[in-house]
Amino acid sequence: NATNVLEAAHKLEQILKKLLLLSGINRNVQEKVAVRIDEIIWEIIAQLQKNYKQQFQVALNISPEKMHLLTANVNETMIYMALFNLIENAAKFSTNTVFITMAIVNQQLNITIKDTGIGIPPNELQFLKQPFYRSTNASTFKGNGLGFSIATIILEAHHIKMNLQSSLDNGTTITLSLP
């Protein structure tokens, strides 16, 4: 019917937009400005609270003399997209509180995004960065498998290290270390 055709066309449009973004990431990452990462995270949470019922709990474990480390020289739009995807995934795959912690470790800003959701099967972790890959337990959730791979490419282009730990049915923790 017409509704299904429109939905399919919209889904294809979203995929094409993400593919076009992928193709230009390395060019656009050169356009960097100094931005407060915590402000981006608050903006993302405000946006996500419209669609996700669960709570977002944010901890800022940074002493006043280290607050300058919250500012990073990044492509603001791309970092917003990467963080949005990671935080949205935490909300999407969990019905409980999503915990976001910002702390300074070895003079670097670390951002930890933790959920207590469905987790990722251990044998599938190696495939997460592949475009269009969706873990077997994620098939009932909306998505096309591009968001995490785009986030990964953006983070790598900014030399931001990502550590992902996941336990099936217990959730996922992602820690980002900004240079």
Inform me whether the pLDDT recorded for 48 exceeds 90.
yes
Q: What is the pLDDT of residue 79?
A: 95
Q: What are phi and psi of 22, to 5 degrees?
A: -55, -40
Q: What is the pLDDT of residue 103?
A: 97
Q: How confident is the model at residue 29 (pLDDT cuts 50, 70, 90)?
A: low
The full DSSP string for 36-75 is EHHHHHHHHHHHHTTT--S-EEEEEE--GGGGGGGEEEE-
Q: What is the pLDDT of residue 44?
A: 96
Nearest partner of 114 among 173, 52, 177, 176, judged by Cα: 173
Strands of 124-170 (E only): list them.
161-167
Nearest partner of 172 among 148, 140, 142, judged by Cα: 148
Q: Give the whole-number percent of the chain exceeding pLDDT 70.
A: 85
CA triplet 84, 97, 73: central angle to 5 degrees? 30
Tens-digit pLDDT profile for residues 123-155: 888 888 877 777 877 877 887 777 898 899 889
b or e along 118-127 (b: 16 or more beta carbons within 10 Å of the residue's beta carbon)? bbbeeebeee
pTM, entire model: 0.84
Inform me whether the pLDDT recorded for 26 exceeds 60.
no
Lowest mean pLDDT among 23-37, 56-70, 161-175: 23-37
Q: What is the pLDDT of residue 24?
A: 62
- Please, which contacts does 6-14 make with residues 24 or more away whose CB atoms are closer than 8 Å? 11/144, 14/144
Q: Are 90 and 114 in contact (CB under 8 A)?
A: yes
Q: Give the whole-number percent of the chain exceeding pLDDT 90.
A: 54
The residue assigned the tokens 């282009």 is 157
